[in-house]
Every structure is written in structure tokens, then in C-alpha cells.
């Protein structure tokens, strides 16, 4: 199941989403002008490799047709009607986490936020103690700088690919490299390297959990 949230209301959104559901097996449920659930049955002849792949297609289509900005949460694949509630819970959780950690747009799976879910179970006092142990004022400056944090997160979500990150941010390659160097100088973490990127990601999650 998919949970679909539009940044602003579009009267034609329900009809448009319904066009991409098979009338016998699929369903679109409207909660309000911005929020919908999309139940998509999967058959052996599907041209999409995964629910997330289909969600990417749906997101592109709706964005092009309406000029809309939206976020889609991808729930777990289930075998029966009675498991749909669990799948929607996962999809809705993906939307919630995307709002906090990913800017509230794009396609996001519940599994993408397993680290967040695990850290949420830790008392905030313990998280705060750990954060204090591993950070200093320079690192906090990076986290408090929305532009720098966006650059780092886009670099991580682009699989540490400089060219792809530059294109998605409409940023000159040299500007991006300068920012990555600045992040390394402030944090001691070279996020071009996978181990440091993982550490930076964990610290980012901790920072946002403590801030929310």
C-alpha cells in the first residue's frame, strides 16, 4: 500500500490517482484534500520491479500532470486484506519520517527509516548524552546550517556521487566539493568515504530526533 500526501490540495488529485488503479483489484481512499491511500495489487506480470519502483512512476506522472509536489510512503507488501492496516501503518510512518528527515517530498519506504525507528526506542536522555560525547561546536554549526545539511543529505541520498548531487542541486561541481571539504574540516568526517558517511548519517538522525 502507498500513502500519498500532497504539499497543497488539488481538487483533481483523487480522479487522477484513480486512473492508475485497476478497477477490480486496486483502490484509492481519500482522507482529505491532501492525503490518500493507494492500494495496488501486484501480479506476476507487473512491469515494475518493486512497490517503490511503481511509486516513483506514480510520483513522476502526478507531478507532471498537476505540477504538484508530493510525498509517497511505501508500505510493506501483504498477501491478504486483513494485513492492509499494517501496510498502511508502515506507509504512513514513512511519510512521518520523510517530513522530519527528508524534506517531506519524494518516495520513501518504511524500511529506509529502520535506523530512525531503532533510535526512537532509546530514551532521549541517553541519545543526548551520546550526542554530547561525540560532537562539538563546529559540528553543531554544520547541523544548524540548513544549506550545508541539505548538501550533505543530498550527497548521501545520491550514493556519494558528486556528479549526480551537483545536478540535483543545480550546483557547480567545485561548489559542492568546497562544501564537502568544509563539512570534513568541521566534523572530521570525510563523507565521500562510506564508513564516514554512515557515521555522519547516524549523527544527523540523532540531531533531528533530539530537535523534534
CATH number of the domain at 108, please.
3.30.70
pLDDT of residue 25: 77
Q: What is the pLDDT of residues 48-77, one digit of tens each?
A: 778 889 999 999 999 999 999 999 999 988
Q: Is the pLDDT of residue 80 over 80?
A: no
Whole-model pTM? 0.79
Say yes or no: 71 and 144 in one domain: no
Say yes or no: 110 and 169 in one domain: no
Closest CA to 6 of 35, 32, 31: 35
More confident residue, 186 or 43: 186
Last residue of a domain, one of 78, 100, 116: 116
* Separation of alpha carbons 129 and 7, rounded Å: 36
> How many distinct structural domains can be found in the chain?
2
Say yes or no: 159 and 83 in one domain: no
Q: Which residues constitute the domain of residue 173?
A: 122-211
Say yes or no: 16 and 99 in one domain: yes
Last residue of a domain, one of 61, 90, 116: 116
Last residue of a domain, one of 82, 116, 150: 116
Phi-psi region of 142 (alpha: psi -120 to 50; beta: other; left: phi over 0): alpha
Say yes or no: 75 and 126 in one domain: no
DSSP for 72-90 reads EEE----SSGGGHHHHHHH
* Separation of alpha carbons 153 and 150, rounded Å: 5
Amino acid at each position: 500500500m502507498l500513502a500519498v500526501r500532497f504539499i497543497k490540495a488539488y481538487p483533481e488529485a483523487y480522479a487522477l490517482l484513480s486512473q492508475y488503479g485497476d478497477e477490480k483489484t486496486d483502490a484509492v481512499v481519500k482522507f482529505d484534500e491532501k492525503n490518500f491511500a493507494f492500494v495496488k495489487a501486484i501480479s506476476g506480470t507487473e512491469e515494475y520491479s518493486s512497490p517503490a519502483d511503481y511509486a516513483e512512476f506514480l510520483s513522476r506522472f502526478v507531478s507532471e500532470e498537476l505540477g504538484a509536489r508530493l510525498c509517497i510512503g511505501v508500505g510493506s507488501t501483504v498477501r491478504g486484506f486483513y494485513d492492509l492496516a499494517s501496510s498502511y501503518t508502515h506507509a504512513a510512518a514513512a511519510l512521518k519520517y520523510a517530513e522530519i528527515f527528508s524534506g517531506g517530498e519524494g518516495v520513501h519506504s518504511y524500511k529506509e527509516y529502520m535506523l530512525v525507528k531503532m533510535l526512537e526506542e532509546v530514551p532521549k536522555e541517553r541519545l543526548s548524552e551520546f550526542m554530547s560525547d561525540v560532537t562539538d561546536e563546529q559540528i553543531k554549526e554544520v547541523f544548524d546550517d540548513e544549506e550545508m545539511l541539505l548538501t550533505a543529505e543530498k550527497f548521501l541520498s545520491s550514493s556519494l556521487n558528486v556528479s549526480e548531487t551537483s545536478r540535483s542541486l543545480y550546483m557547480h561541481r567545485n561548489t559542492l566539493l568546497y562544501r564537502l571539504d568544509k563539512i570534513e574540516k568541521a566534523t572530521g568526517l570525510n563523507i565521500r568515504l562510506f564508513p564516514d558517511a554512515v557515521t555522519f548519517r547516524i549523527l544527523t538522525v540523532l540531531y533531528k530526533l533530539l530537535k523534534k
